[in-house]
Structure 1
Amino acid sequence: MGFESNLSAMASVTAQETWIPPQWALMLRQLFDTLNQAAKEFVKKYVLPDGTLIWRGDWPGMDGSDDPYEGFMYLALLYALGGDEELREMALQVWEGITWQWTEYGQIYRDFDAYYDWMHHGEGYLFFYFLGLAAPSDSKSVQRAQRFANLYTGDDPEVQNYDSEKKLIRSPITGSRGPRHEMSEEDWCTHRGILDDYLAPFEDIPGVDFASGKCAWSDDHVYKEIIRLMNERMAKGDVPLNLNATGLITHAYMYSGDEKLKNWVINYVQAWKERAAKNGGIIPDNIGLSGEIGEYNDGKWWGGYYGWRWPHGFLTIIEPIVNASMNAVLLSGDMNQLQLAREQLDLNWALGHEENGRWVTPTKHFDSGWTAYRLPNPLYPVHLWTLSMAEEDAARVDRIDKLQYDLDIDVPEYSGGNPITGKNTKHYNGNTVQWFHYMRGKSPEYPEQILEANYKLVSSQLKKMRSEEGDPNNWTSDGFSLGALSSIHKWQEMCPVYFEGLLQLTLGAPMHTSHGGLQHGRVRYFDAHAERPGLPKGVAALVEALAADSVTLSLVNIDLFAEKQVIIQAGTFGEHQFETVTVLSQEEHMQKTVHADGKWFLAKLLPGVGIRLQMTMKRYVNQPTYATPWGDPKDTVTMIRGRDK
């Protein structure tokens, strides 16, 4: 069935009520226009015509291929939301250019990072996941998705990253060259000066005072001992961080629908549930190749790579668990898949105590026991609530002391931190809690507030990008001083393409987590006239309310001269199903109800009109896919097969 047939078969309404555009609608379209121009200026400044980046001629170690991908990944996501058409081709070209460039540096092999951990894989391959939303029928991306998944399912004969019998990834350091059971000094050379101020990975490194909280990686003797001990205790076996690999497998599934990929995710999450149960409920952070907890660590369940003793502590344990649990729900529709994440949050909460009138919880476990107590982070239960819409998950947010969050926020001038909060977080996505309160009816001014803050952020980033600091010719010094090393993050630091609020307001969801979370959302949009992803030009969308069985959103066509046709999709990946659509006036009077019964619904917007839709839905009842109203990659993309050797 062709697109025209699909379109004619969709339930639809035609909006005819003239709206004076609300302030949020004008601000949202202004932000789109600004981001489109900023993205093009950003690419022009840092990208050569062949898609490679203006940078140095060499780069050592295993760290770094994730960083350029992170700097440019929002080209693809902005296009998928409704950014300019050129952004699609820019995103594809830059992805290809970075992949080739870092292959030449020696870090990427067969188009995938040769070996590194799943915190960094998770960060870098967000770009790859967003290409599924922006260019779902790009044959290279489709083919690579399957090939990359094979690296972790055991179906690539060259790479043995996964033990299918024991359901474990065989090292914290994996990639297209397989598990890295022995790391070299060269692998970590770019970290040395930076890690001098970090906690030591073990208590018993000769010459290191663990209690100081610092470890002199720049000292040659200490460095040799660190690498030796890491190889003995950390380099073999599975760690919770590897749960981020479920994003890669889920991404491939949404191209192909291959049940084997779905089962891999469900089975791998189940394996970690069983390990936590065997450990008294707390998830262990190191599993040996035999499947035993603490096999290379004197039987200790703590002390693994990016685990309970690592400087990041709980963050790099709970975030992969949340990401994987959400992926398992997406694939199965079973909310019980959130169990592992919920249990870890509750156990961590129960280990806390009151300190200065606030409840603090441990983020690390040393040989001496639980330590490093901090205010718990409500980000993770918010993400769970977005999927479950369950009061128990909302309660996990609410129980965190609200005194640490100012709900009556005046937007500050941007000064190097996150909009609204002022907190400098990865990819400027730190306003998840504020969005949650808006969805719960506690912050009605949030749409204008976050859009204003995002606009200020883009302006500030453009100013920085245009300064001497933003000149890429100043980043290419020879040698590996700390200043030269930090240039690997410069594209992220200078990027003006940040749009957390725009995404939250249009999709009805928080922005993905930074280390490999897929971009879940209650709704998504397509431009029916242009046959492309995203909102049509001149159309603004606002998700005003979420419930377990409904979403309420407003659409406004601020264009006074052209009709727009917006296809609304139930879920980012079509995983939900619309049932009925009730049309409300701008004053919220019910006008009529239409039976939808599908994952797509068409809203026709005459010039200058607006419409409010209350859409009932069944959630997580459809197979998640990158299919669009005009094509499904599993039907439209031919997989290329090489000849038998």
Structure 2
Amino acid sequence: MAERDILVIPMTTIPSWAVLERRLFDTVEESWRVFAEKFTEADGRLRFDRGFEGSRDGVDDFYEAFFNWPAFYSLGGSREILDAAKHHWAGVTAQLTEAGMLTDEFENGYDWFHQGESLIFFYALCAADPLDAEFRERARRFAELYTDARGGNYDVESNTIAAPHNGARGLLDGLGPEWLSYPASQEYMRPYGLPLEYLPGISGWSDLEDPAKADAMGDAMQVVLGAGDVPINLASTSLVLNRWLYDGDEPSERWIARYVDGWRARAADNDGLIPDNVSPDGRAGGMHDGRWFGGHYGWTWPHGLLSVEMGALIGAMNAAFVTGDNSYLDLARTPLDTVLEHAITASVDDTPMSIQSGWQDRLGAASAEPALLVPHRFGKDGWFDFGPMPMSMPMWLWWFSREDADRERLDRVIAGSVESAIGFGPFRDKEEAGHERPWLAYLNGENPEYPEAALAGALGQVARRMALIEAEDPDIRTVHIHFWQQVNPVVTEVLTQLVAGAPQVLYNGGIPFAALSYEDADEGRQGLPADVAALVRSIDGECIRLELVNLSMTQTRRVIVRPGRFGERDIVSVTSSGEAGGDYPGPSPAYRSLPGEAVQQTVEIGAAECLIELPPNHRAELTLLTRPSGRRPAFTATGTAG
């Protein structure tokens, strides 16, 4: 279709949200350069000279410092930040290889709660520049660690990844390279309680003050928690899906469906609720004397719902995406429904939980108000560890499916929340998420000021990170490995919501889905063109309302709009708003131009994209009707930084 078929509107006033959005792009561009200059070496590695002291932990913390840089590029950031992201990926990879943490550029072996945190950086790089042959080859090689028997991670006969720690060196025994005791002196672990509840003579944390019992716990953890399949391994399906998006590799598609089917069958045998441990021979509960709970990063320890549901949700969405069968989502629906059945109403302040302080920091004074609290964990005494349900989980389920039942569940969680539906909470955690409620209220038409408040808040987040960068000058010999992610000034949550119409990526290994994606038609690259701001105003089933603004006073900008991120949807039609009979800009002696009569025009598209031409100082108000494309989803191979 010709771009002239889409109506545009001259602007007599400039939307404040558009000015703030472009200001945020400019501020992030300035800030990431300061971060890179201060904290990285010429080859891209982080300034750090300590070792990892024999631990398997730490790889994720180095990649996390840059996790959203390629995502920022894909939204409309500069080519320079994509080049920088690749440069730092290479530098950190070399750094970790020298430290003995990687083999052939992939993590030797660790749990997928942490590996997923590492790999969202990699997935975003692949999506941002799918024509980069080196990353394409890495995607294939990494996926084959699981889909190819030679990778040593996946057993076809039992349909398991039969160890919580797995990776480039296959299945690794235990929870670390050396045996460790588990003493009560680990105060930071006390809130999580006992890793194993059924050891003779150990019934409470104080029992671990006895060195012999601490040693017994450590021994048992290496054996019982350090073997067998666990739900967070489902995050490995993203590694395989990432490869599939390049070439539609059929064995990869079959592997995703088969591995997730194995977990679905185990859940079906447990009244629909996913168990958290599977012995190497494929028996659910086989690591815990038949009990469906107790596994590593499982229902009992340490995080319960946070880790079990994360694996179930990522695996379910990935399987549904490659097969087109949304019944896979039941694997993630049942855990949420189950904990909601056991919910209570109480305040966060008066209900001790393992991560209570984090919720208190986030909620502020509202932590004293009664709220819907769900049990996060299950142990020998039943459900426990009550706290607010992380909104990202029911939000992603509804966003992905757009089904009424998933929306009803989300609305129930929202109704029980004490988080404000208005404004933008002044916090930022490492996932750079948590503002789902006010965003959804905006999409519902209940929080019209959200774009301005959220963009202003995001600018404040960058300002605080820059102040921290200026104020803190850590000694590279002693710096904490979480430091760099804590001062990363690149922010993408608000831009992802407003520009792409999606929640922030699932942090423990999610694929970067989007409701809308863009291409600069003149520069031939992903993301919004210079001067252009975008605002997704609503998402209602197959309809998406979008506003585009060209803030340039001299340059016409042309932007290609696509539904989805991977060609999974088509645009059926575009309805645009305009004016008829106006005299913009009018004669020079007049005080102002006269507005025309409001008109609308609907154009049939029937294609994967449409081109919008925005003259200087014009905006477009669009309603896109979309539908599934029927094509195999794939990376959009347009616009590469080389």
Same fold (TM over 0.5): yes
Query: Post-superposition shift, 1:329?
Result: 2.5
Q: 1:371 corresponds to which residue? A: 384
1-side partners of 2:160 and 2:521: how far apart? 44
Aligned partner of 2:604: which letter? H
**Residue 553 of structure 1: SS of its match in structure 2?**
strand
Of the three residues 465, 469, 475, the one matched with 1:465 is 469
Q: 2:456 corresponds to which residue? A: 452
1-side partners of 2:177 and 2:215: how far apart? 7
* Contact persistence 1:10–1:600 (CA under 8 A): no
1-side partners of 2:620 and 2:260: how far apart? 42
2-side partners of 1:50 and 1:173: how far apart? 30
Query: Post-superposition shift, 1:336?
Result: 2.0
1-side partners of 2:58 and 2:235: how far apart? 18
**Residue 602 of structure 1: SS of its match in structure 2?**
strand
Query: Post-superposition shift, 1:629?
Result: 4.2
Aligned partner of 1:400: which letter? V
* Contact persistence 1:288–1:294 (CA under 8 A): yes
The answer to whether 1:438 aligns with 2:442 is yes
The answer to whether 1:618 aligns with 2:627 is yes
Residue 43 to residue 223, structure 1, CA distance change in 2 (3 Å): farther
Residue 358 to residue 536, structure 1, CA distance change in 2 (3 Å): closer
Residue 180 to residue 223, structure 1, CA distance change in 2 (3 Å): farther
Residue 69 to residue 294, structure 1, CA distance change in 2 (3 Å): same
2-side partners of 1:421 and 1:547: how far apart? 25
2-side partners of 1:222 and 1:141: how far apart? 48
Q: 2:612 corresponds to which residue? A: 603
Query: Post-superposition shift, 1:388?
Result: 1.7
* Contact persistence 1:197–1:215 (CA under 8 A): no
Residue 220 to residue 156, structure 1, CA distance change in 2 (3 Å): farther
Query: Post-superposition shift, 1:407?
Result: 3.7
1-side partners of 2:237 and 2:179: how far apart? 25
* Contact persistence 1:170–1:237 (CA under 8 A): yes
Query: Post-superposition shift, 1:616?
Result: 0.7
2-side partners of 1:409 and 1:475: how far apart? 41
**Residue 169 of structure 1: SS of its match in structure 2?**
coil
Aligned partner of 1:363: which letter? H
Q: 1:525 corresponds to which residue? A: 518
Query: Post-superposition shift, 1:442?
Result: 1.6
Query: Post-superposition shift, 1:265?
Result: 1.4
**Residue 167 of structure 2: SS of its match in structure 1?**
coil
2-side partners of 1:163 and 1:280: how far apart? 26
Residue 451 to residue 424, structure 1, CA distance change in 2 (3 Å): closer
Q: 2:267 corresponds to which residue? A: 276
The answer to whether 1:492 aligns with 2:480 is no
C-alpha deviations, 1:239-260, integer Å up to 9, x for none? 1111111111111111121122
Query: Post-superposition shift, 1:210?
Result: 2.4
* Contact persistence 1:581–1:596 (CA under 8 A): yes
Query: Post-superposition shift, 1:446?
Result: 0.8
Query: Post-superposition shift, 1:352?
Result: 3.1
Residue 354 to residue 57, structure 1, CA distance change in 2 (3 Å): closer
Aligned partner of 1:278: which letter? D
2-side partners of 1:262 and 1:232: how far apart? 33
**Residue 434 of structure 2: SS of its match in structure 1?**
coil
Query: Post-superposition shift, 1:194?
Result: 4.5
* Contact persistence 1:205–1:222 (CA under 8 A): no
Q: 1:162 corresponds to which residue? A: 154
1-side partners of 2:442 and 2:48: how far apart? 42
2-side partners of 1:403 and 1:110: how far apart? 47
1-side partners of 2:179 and 2:545: how far apart? 50
2-side partners of 1:152 and 1:46: how far apart? 34
Query: Post-superposition shift, 1:187?
Result: 7.9
Query: Post-superposition shift, 1:369?
Result: 2.0
Q: 1:346 corresponds to which residue? A: 337
Residue 16 to residue 436, structure 1, CA distance change in 2 (3 Å): closer
2-side partners of 1:274 and 1:10: how far apart? 50
C-alpha deviations, 1:457-505, integer Å up to 9, x for none? 10011000111x2x24x2413xxxxxx5xx1100111111123111110
Query: Post-superposition shift, 1:404?
Result: 2.8
Q: 1:52 corresponds to which residue? A: 45
Query: Post-superposition shift, 1:423?
Result: 5.0
The answer to whether 1:90 aligns with 2:103 is no
Of the three residues 392, 411, 414, the one matched with 1:398 is 411
Residue 114 to residue 10, structure 1, CA distance change in 2 (3 Å): farther
The answer to whether 1:201 aligns with 2:195 is yes
Of the three residues 427, 431, 435, the one matched with 1:427 is 431
Q: 1:642 corresponds to which residue? A: none
* Contact persistence 1:12–1:601 (CA under 8 A): no
Q: How many residue pairs are counted as aligned between the two chains? A: 600
Aligned partner of 2:618: which letter? V
Q: 1:17 corresponds to which residue? A: 9
**Residue 584 of structure 1: SS of its match in structure 2?**
strand
Residue 408 to residue 323, structure 1, CA distance change in 2 (3 Å): closer
**Residue 125 of structure 1: SS of its match in structure 2?**
helix
Query: Post-superposition shift, 1:24?
Result: 0.5
TM-score by length of 2: 0.88
Residue 568 to residue 245, structure 1, CA distance change in 2 (3 Å): same
**Residue 618 of structure 1: SS of its match in structure 2?**
strand
Q: 2:327 corresponds to which residue? A: 336
Which 10-residue stretch deviates more, 330-339 or 127-136? 330-339
Q: 2:126 corresponds to which residue? A: 132
Residue 45 to residue 588, structure 1, CA distance change in 2 (3 Å): farther
The answer to whether 1:73 aligns with 2:61 is no
Aligned partner of 2:170: which letter? G
1-side partners of 2:190 and 2:134: how far apart? 41
C-alpha deviations, 1:369-416, integer Å up to 9, x for none? 222233333321111111222221111012126353344545xxxxxx
Q: 2:302 corresponds to which residue? A: 311
* Contact persistence 1:360–1:376 (CA under 8 A): yes
**Residue 488 of structure 1: SS of its match in structure 2?**
coil
Q: 2:242 corresponds to which residue? A: 251
C-alpha deviations, 1:574-595, integer Å up to 9, x for none? 2111111111138994432222
**Residue 562 of structure 2: SS of its match in structure 1?**
strand
Residue 233 to residue 79, structure 1, CA distance change in 2 (3 Å): same
Of the three residues 592, 601, 606, the one matched with 1:592 is 601
Q: 1:5 corresponds to which residue? A: none
* Contact persistence 2:277–2:295 (CA under 8 A): yes
* Contact persistence 2:430–2:485 (CA under 8 A): no
Residue 84 to residue 423, structure 1, CA distance change in 2 (3 Å): closer
* Contact persistence 1:358–1:401 (CA under 8 A): no
Aligned partner of 1:428: which letter? E
* Contact persistence 2:69–2:82 (CA under 8 A): yes
Which 10-residue stretch deviates more, 89-98 or 330-339? 330-339
**Residue 166 of structure 2: SS of its match in structure 1?**
coil
2-side partners of 1:530 and 1:456: how far apart? 30
2-side partners of 1:497 and 1:243: how far apart? 28
Q: 2:590 corresponds to which residue? A: none
Aligned partner of 1:384: which letter? L
Q: 1:627 corresponds to which residue? A: 636
* Contact persistence 2:342–2:375 (CA under 8 A): yes
Q: 1:543 corresponds to which residue? A: 536
1-side partners of 2:229 and 2:538: how far apart? 40
Residue 616 to residue 187, structure 1, CA distance change in 2 (3 Å): farther
1-side partners of 2:212 and 2:484: how far apart? 34
C-alpha deviations, 1:557-605, integer Å up to 9, x for none? 0011111110111101221111111111389944322221111211111
Q: 1:62 corresponds to which residue? A: 56
Aligned partner of 2:443: which letter? M
1-side partners of 2:163 and 2:422: how far apart? 44
Which 10-residue stretch deviates more, 184-193 or 245-254? 184-193
**Residue 521 of structure 1: SS of its match in structure 2?**
coil
